[in-house]
Amino acid sequence: MDSLQSIRVFCQVVRLGSFTAAADFLNISTAMASKHITSLEQKVQAKLLHRTSRKISLTELGEHYYQQCLSALETLDNAQLEVQQGTIAPKGILKITVPLICCTPYFANLLRLFREKYPDIHLSIYLENKHTNLVEEGFDLALRSTETLEPGLIARPLCKVKFRFVASPNYLNKHGRPTQLDDLKNHGGLLPNYTNLPINMPAVADSNNTLLLKEMALAGMGIAYLPDWLTESYLKNGQLISLLDARNTLMFPTIYAVYVDRKFLSAKVRAFIDFLVEKTASKTLQF
């Protein structure tokens, strides 16, 4: 069988998670899709997929082979475009996952500027704080604040993010204003449950959703520890009050652009990373 076509079938089966869906996408029969995978496994002398009646998943060798296949197909597709168009322009769907704190006007404006520069790129954006498996979920890129990465991923540092303690005027009128870290033990905390903060503040609520923590702070439920890029406008209009001072900042995390380790990055991924690096160079990002 045609090895290149078998590789394309294999990549579509992994991407769509189904032989039937891949067959429909490629306009072949499900039986033919299965034959392509069997032929490919025979040629590489390795099992590439775990197959059950409910789920298809990559073997360890299959995951490595999948990444190599994606890189090879991208190289071939780009070469074809180069021949047909005389140049390689960033285009296609760019699927990215970003933390909830990116749900801000500043970040939306960055996306607008990016689309103006690269109108042939369609942005598909997922907001979530969890560390999604980029390979299994088919993501091109993730923005993350992390010091540890899964094997096979590369992280490009973008910027640092300043956090601060904030509360509503209504909460402070009722409970008083802390002047030092030790005072927090007498207040109710609205705390992220996806990280550990070295503070002695009893939690009245915790959440993995940064936007909800901000809304609870606005409602006067307690003192929250939130990034500037999420609270800046509320601090300016007085809906939230900044507490303590810069010396009491507990976190100054770095935001990274995280992507799968491939020899050749696609033009769309490289364009987005370079754009973010340019916009965030040498400063604390204010989303």
Q: Are 183 and 211 in contact (CB under 8 A)?
A: no
Task: Judge whether 287 lies within some domain.
Answer: no
- In this structure, the chain runs to a length of 287
pLDDT recorded at residue 242: 92
Q: Kindly give, in sequence order, each residue whose CB lies less than 8 Å from that of residue 190, ignoring residues fewer than 6 positions away.
A: 203, 204, 205, 206, 207, 213, 216, 217, 221, 222, 223, 224, 225
Residue 98 lies in a domain: yes
Is residue 261, in this structure, part of any structural domain at all? yes
- The residue among 85, 112, 144 that closes a domain is 85
Position 257 pLDDT exceeds 80: yes
Q: What pairs with residue 203 in β-bridges? A: 189
**224: which 2 tokens?**
């929250």
Is 102 within the bounds of a domain?
Answer: yes
| Domain boundary pick from 85, 109, 133 | 85
Is residue 111 domain-shared with residue 223, that is, in the same domain? Answer: no
- What is the model's pTM? 0.59
Same domain, 132 and 261: yes
Mind listing the pLDDT tens digit for each residue in 11-22? 999 988 889 999
Q: What is the pLDDT of residue 215?
A: 95
Whether residues 147 and 267 fall in one domain: yes
Helix (H) or strand (E) run with residue 165 in it:
strand 163-167
- In this prediction, residue 147 has a pLDDT band, given cuts at 50, 70 and 90, of low
Are 148 and 100 contained in the same domain?
Answer: yes
What's 226's domain CATH number? 3.40.190.10
Do residues 273 and 141 share a domain?
yes
Residue 86 has pLDDT above 50, yes or no: no
Q: Are 24 and 65 part of one and the same domain?
A: yes
What's residue 87's pLDDT?
47
**Same domain assignment for residues 260 and 152:** yes
Looking at the structure, tell me whether residues 261 and 132 fall in a common domain. Answer: yes
Residue after which a domain boundary falls, among 85, 105, 133: 85
Q: Do residues 51 and 102 share a domain?
A: no
**What is the reported pLDDT for 83?**
57
266 shares a domain with 137: yes
DSSP H or E run through 66: helix 60-85
Total count of domains within the chain: 3
Domain membership of residue 47 (yes or no) is yes
pLDDT tens readout for residues 190-234? 988 876 777 888 999 999 888 899 999 999 999 998 888 788 889
Instruction: Answer yes or no: do 146 and 262 share one domain.
Output: yes
Whether 286 is covered by a domain: the verdict is: no
Q: Are residues 40 and 112 in the same domain?
A: no
pLDDT at residue 193, as a whole number: 81
Mean pLDDT within 145-153:
70
Residue 85 above 60 pLDDT? no
Identify the domain containing residue 150 by its residue range: 92-156+256-280
In this structure, is residue 285 part of a structural domain? no
What's the CATH number where 22 sits? 1.10.10.10
